[in-house]
Amino acid sequence: NTSLNYDHRIDLTGLSPNTTYYFNLSSTDENNNTATKTDVDGDFSFTTLETADTTGPVITDITTTDTTPTSAILTWTTDENSSSFVQYSSDRENFAATYKETGKSDDATTSHTVTIDGLTQNTTYYFKVKSVDSNGNETIDDNSGNYHSFVTASGPVITDVTASPSLNSAAITWTTDSNSNAFVTYSPNADLSESQEKGYSGKTGTNQGVTIEGLTPGTTYYYSVRSENEAKGVTTDDNNGNFYSFVAATDTTAPTISNVSADSTTESSTVITWVTDEAATGEVQYGTSADALNASTDLNTNLNVNHSALISGLEPNTTYYFKVISKDGSGNASESEVNSFTTLRSAEFQHDPLSEIKNVRVSLATDESAVITFNTDQDALCLAEVTTSSGSYDNPLIFREDGYNESTNYTIQHSLDFLGLLPSRTYYYRITCKDNLDNIASTTNPEEYSFMTLQKQTSHTNLSQAVHDTSPTISTRTDTEVVITFNAGTVANSKLCLGAHEGINMDSCEAAASEIERSRVHSYHITGLTPDTLRYAKMRITDSEDSDDTYDTNEVSFRTLQAQVEHISLSSADHDASPTVTMKSDIEAIATFNAGTNATSKLCYSTAENIDMNSCEGLENDDASKLQAFHLTGLTASTRYYVRMLVRDAEDVSDSLVTEEIFFDTLETQIGTSQIGVPDSVAPEISGVSINNVTGESATITWNTNENANSLVAYEPEGATFSMMAGDSVVNFDKEKFTTSHSVQILGLIPSTKYNYKIVSYDTSGNISKSYESSFTTKEPSSLSSIKIVSKAMGQATITWKTSKETTSKVKYGLTTAYGKTEEDNEMTRDHEITISDLTAGETYHLRVESEDRDGNQFVSSDMTFEPKSPPQISDYKVDSITEHGAKVFFTTNIPTDAIVTYTDPENEENSGFQGRPELTTKHEIELKNMASGVKFSIKIKVRDEEGNETEEEFEGFTTAKDENPPKIDEVRTDSALTQSEKVQTIISWKTDEPATTSLIYKEGRGGQEKEVKISDNFTTGHIAVITSFKLGTVYYVKVKSEDQNGNVAISGQYSLLTPQRKQNIIQIIASNFQEIFGWVGGVK
């Protein structure tokens, strides 16, 4: 090769096979310099190959295995490694044109396996196998031109195909010659279009059966059957392409209707339910006449056996007639007989009939008027007939409650003003009341009542001659407050003393409140009392014009209520609906209001109706108290005044209410009694007091007087002031029947309770005598009593009550007085407890308790209402004080809870967070801090009460202010020290008013070059930079730098610091001083 190259190649040809050759190498460059490489160790040699392989592999042992309906496995062997191929076709005559080939071209084996898939069941296939060795020598075995063959497995043999149809279904059966599954394809179309398939895949037997359902009666259906055996052979029998067929049975029987009823009936709706013996539609026709069922419910076209239909928009207290109609799937229809139901009365009419007038008493009597108060057992309107002759009501004075003629303002608490009466006159009266169902209740003999008006008043009556109270009146009380009133009957001054024990000394006691001067009506509002504590009260009354004319009242007692554990919001408190004028004269009045919780108030009064509480100038009570009391003075005699109040929660002024407006009439100008002689001024003497016939609900008191007098008993449970009165109506209504032997039965008492009582008798001249206080205790209850409803858990309430004998326990409850649900316990007991559950928060439930003794006697309570415990409620949400990095969230809850406020940035989760407060309160203020600026946050509030009940709500979010102001740098401090290795360590610290980074700018000396060191990229408000690269004894000028999250940069002013010098020993200090003085010491070595 004469070409000059670096890389060389020589091809040798014409060599002999299977021969070893040896060779040497030589190369000559362009200058004819030759290099030769001679074989020394035999390394330069090679051996040619043997003669080339031209023989194909020998094929033997061709076998077909694992034949299925759709596949087969072919195996064979060869005498050398070679590939594996199979050519196959079901058409022997046209094999060359129809065969398919499958196999493995990269196979190199002597044991060959090829799987053929996608075959047709029960078919003969012809094949030949092919193998090719590594030299491309090919061998094909076609069985000497006859081909090899195999037959695929076949499906099961199907026989005895039968259909057994019914109305809506058909059972299709057939047999197979091997274990197989079963499927039916069916359609109402003869070509089996729009078909459906039903069957099962398990191959469990040879008797096959498939039930197809949902068929239409009377319809012809076409079908084929299919089965697959364990060899996966499938057979479809379509009756040779004609398909099998059957006709579904025809239904000619109408459905049978039963169990027709009207359930859950309310004042405006009911639910009609019924049952049919087969699936059918449902409809109800109804009307107010059995012969005219003109209305109907919507047709329910769904086929069901249990039916219900809601009828709504009905009139209350109306009888409706109805029938139900049902039609099956074949159009067979049936209808029920005509039934009826009656809707309930409207909610305000759903109560027991009015049956009782009770607690009748004269709350105030003057010379020309009286105020009568009483209660009814149901909301009612009442009138009183007043006469001066007992039992004679032919031409009485009639006084009606407001709204009587218009049938409005029904109530259970009643007050009637008797006006235009004559002084010093005994009046008799009876009361008639009606409820909104026109049920009547009245007081008739012997329940006739009487009272006596005062003597005619002068411009000023001496206290000793005035007709005044003998004891203070406890008008109302709470756990820490009480209102005490006294009618002096003339203008007088008063002093009130309270004591923990009986026997208050009016000469030495300390006044419980500022003394009242020049007033007929005296009202003291005492606060700050101890809950559940017995107190005694006594007053000294002094004539306003004669200080020597004084009178010490009787001593009365009262017990404050049990402690109110926590502040109740005004909106949740049990408060009065309107003010009450508890006492009045010609120029004065006392108005009170029980707010049920600590509150402040404003009272406005006017001679004109419809007082505007926003613009009126009234009296303010800024002291937080439950009882609001106002003493109105300077009034005009014989004038009607209107009164209204604005009441505010003491802890949340936004929680307020305006009361209903009431009115009262002042008395006529009073003249004194000094001009009218008083014939008898000696009160009767009381003796022989005894208590008899005490039961669970009643007791009888007897006593004697030394002169004819009436019969009255004042009583109250222990710890309270006497506010109830019982009497002998036969004696009291006619002075001619006044007696010296007295007997009064007290009814309606509380079982197992201690009562205090005093006897009150006045003679025919009006002189009043009262006994000392005595007491008695009632026995155990003789019927239902002590009913309590307590709801502490969500959706639950526990009802307890007592009976005088062992009885069963049953509670009926629901959202109306129809109740609808019952919980009961048949165990006999006197102490009853039933817990009801599945209650809905926020709903008002009606409830009635029932008990039955062993003799079948039943005890049933009246209807009661309650609300189950509700989850906390969030209100008054607002956001204030929004800054670049925070805000304050305010809201209230109806009960004390903790609070968590979650704020979320939907664009960047890293900006989200939550903050809260664990203490339980109703007024919440959460300050959100360290928030990203200029971001719109969504807000979610979660609260939880002390029992773990939670409420979570989403509220309107807000956007923090955009931060365009750099951080404020403050409190920069520097400190330098030497380490043990005498290196300078300088610490520089500062604070910022928002999270920011930490950097330091410094230079060495005034003329040095400024350098900046990044200390930390973390955002913080407290910054520390530690520098260890400063030189000893050098002045540095330093500025601190911080950058907030919005890129606003703040750089402080310049600070200077001197780093410490290296410590020197005494020789170094002397040498340094000499150097400074003489300048030559530095050269001394």
The string of pLDDT tens digits covering residues 477-517 is 777 888 888 888 888 899 999 998 999 999 999 998 888 88
897 and 1011: one domain? no
Contact 498, 477 (CB under 8 A): no
Cα 572 to Cα 582: distance, rounded to the nearest angstrom: 25
Q: Mean per-residue pLDDT for 364-386?
A: 84
Placement of tokens 């030495």 in the chain: 508
Report the number of distinct structural domains present in the chain.
Answer: 10
579 and 636: one domain? yes
pLDDT for position 63: 94
Q: In this prediction, what percent of the chain has a pLDDT beyond 90?
A: 30
Would 1067 be classed as within a structural domain? no
pLDDT for position 168: 79
Residues 23-46: pLDDT tens digits? 888 899 888 888 888 766 666 888
Contact 128, 63 (CB under 8 A): no
Would 1081 be classed as within a structural domain? no
Q: Of the candidates 838, 866, 894, which is a domain's last residue?
A: 866
Residues 990-1030: pLDDT tens digits? 899 888 899 999 998 888 889 998 988 888 888 888 888 88
977 and 954: one domain? no
Kindly give, in sequence order, each residue whose CB lies less than 8 Å from that of residue 268, ignoring residues fewer than 6 positions away. 312, 313, 314, 315, 316, 343
Q: Nearest to residue 269, comparing CAs of 815, 791, 1005? A: 815
Q: Nearest to residue 250, comparing CAs of 214, 215, 218? A: 218
Q: Mean per-residue pLDDT for 943-968?
A: 86
Q: Mean per-residue pLDDT for 679-697?
A: 76
> pLDDT band at 862, cuts 50/70/90?
low
Would 1037 be classed as within a structural domain? yes
Please report, for the domain that includes residue 263, its CATH number. 2.60.40.10
Average pLDDT over the chain, rounded to whole?
85
pLDDT for position 1064: 53
Cα 761 to Cα 731: distance, rounded to the nearest angstrom: 11
φ, ψ of residue 893 in degrees (nearest 5): -125, 155
552 and 646: one domain? yes
pLDDT for position 678: 36
Q: Nearest to residue 455, comparing CAs of 370, 367, 371? A: 367
Handedness of CA 71, 77, 83, 89 (dihedral sign): negative
657 and 630: one domain? yes
Would 353 be classed as within a structural domain? no
pLDDT for position 673: 33
| Lowest mean pLDDT across 194-198, 353-357, 611-615, 761-765 | 761-765
> pLDDT band at 1033, cuts 50/70/90?
confident
404 and 388: one domain? yes
pLDDT for position 554: 92
Torsion of CA 262, 267, 269, 274, to 10 degrees: 0
Residues 2-26: pLDDT tens digits? 888 888 888 888 888 888 888 888 8
The separation between CA 163 and the C-alpha centre of its own chain, rounded to angstroms, equals 59
Would 420 be classed as within a structural domain? yes
Residues 437-455: pLDDT tens digits? 888 988 864 567 888 887 6
What number of helices (H) and strands (E) belong to the chain?
3, 67
Q: What are the E-state strand segments in 38-169?
A: 45-47, 59-65, 72-89, 100-116, 124-132, 138-141, 148-151, 158-165
CA-derived radius of gyration, the chain: 55
1032 and 1049: one domain? yes
Cα 534 to Cα 559: distance, rounded to the nearest angstrom: 4
Residues 878-899: pLDDT tens digits? 999 888 888 999 999 988 888 8
For 1062, counting Cβ atoms within 10 Å of its Cβ (0-12 exposed, 13-18 middle, 19+ buried), the class is exposed
> pLDDT band at 406, cuts 50/70/90?
confident
Distances (CA, A) of 275 to 83, 279, 302, 305: 76, 9, 14, 6
Taking residue 9's Cβ as centre, other Cβ atoms within 10 Å add up to 6
Residues 749-760: pLDDT tens digits? 777 788 888 888
Q: Of the candidates 117, 133, 151, which is a domain's last residue?
A: 151
Domain that holds residue 526: 473-665
φ, ψ of residue 912 in degrees (nearest 5): -85, 160
**Long-range CB contacts for residues 570-576, cutoff 8 Å, separation at least 24:** 570/595, 570/596, 570/597, 570/599, 570/647, 570/648, 570/649, 570/652, 570/655, 570/656, 570/657, 571/649, 571/655, 571/657, 571/894, 572/894, 572/895, 573/597, 575/647, 575/657, 576/659
pLDDT for position 1084: 43
Kindly give, in sequence order, each residue whose CB lies less than 8 Å from that of residue 557, ignoring residues fewer than 6 positions away. 502, 534, 535, 536, 537, 719, 721, 756, 773
Spell out the SS3 assignment of 1060-1083.
CCCCCCHHHHHHHHHHHHHCCHHH
Q: Which range, 264-278, 284-298, 347-361, is most confident?
A: 284-298
Q: Mean per-residue pLDDT for 898-921?
A: 87
Per the structure block, which two tokens stand in for 906? Answer: 């939907």
Q: Mean per-residue pLDDT for 1026-1051?
A: 88
Cis peptide, bond prior to residue 446, ω within 30 of zero: yes
543 and 630: one domain? yes
pLDDT at residue 855 tops 90: no
Residues 798-854: pLDDT tens digits? 999 888 788 899 999 998 877 889 999 999 998 999 999 889 887 889 888 888 888
Would 428 be classed as within a structural domain? yes
478 and 617: one domain? yes
pLDDT at residue 244 tops 90: yes
Q: What are the E-state strand segments in 188-233?
A: 196-212, 220-228
pLDDT for position 1069: 47
Pairing of the two strands 440-442 and 426-434: antiparallel
Residues 215-227: pLDDT tens digits? 888 889 999 999 9
Taking residue 712's Cβ as centre, other Cβ atoms within 10 Å add up to 22
Would 58 be classed as within a structural domain? no
- Say what the pTM is: 0.28
> pLDDT band at 381, cuts 50/70/90?
very high
Per the structure block, which two tokens stand in for 113? Answer: 């396996």
What is the per-residue DSSP string for 444-470?
Answer: -TTS-EEEEPPPPP-SS--TTTS---S
Residues 141-169: pLDDT tens digits? 999 989 999 999 888 999 999 998 887 78
pLDDT at residue 400 tops 80: yes
71 and 42: one domain? no
Return the SS3 of 100: strand
975 and 895: one domain? no
Residues 10, 15, 16: CA angle, nearest 5 degrees = 155
Q: Of the candidates 151, 168, 185, which is a domain's last residue?
A: 151
1025 and 1043: one domain? yes
> pLDDT band at 1081, cuts 50/70/90?
very low
Kindly give, in sequence order, each residue whose CB lies less than 8 Å from that of residue 841, ignoring residues fewer than 6 positions away. 794, 795, 868, 869, 870, 871
Cα 434 to Cα 403: distance, rounded to the nearest angstrom: 12
> pLDDT band at 89, cuts 50/70/90?
very high
pLDDT for position 676: 32
Q: In this prediction, what percent of the chain has a pLDDT beyond 70?
A: 92
Would 795 be classed as within a structural domain? yes
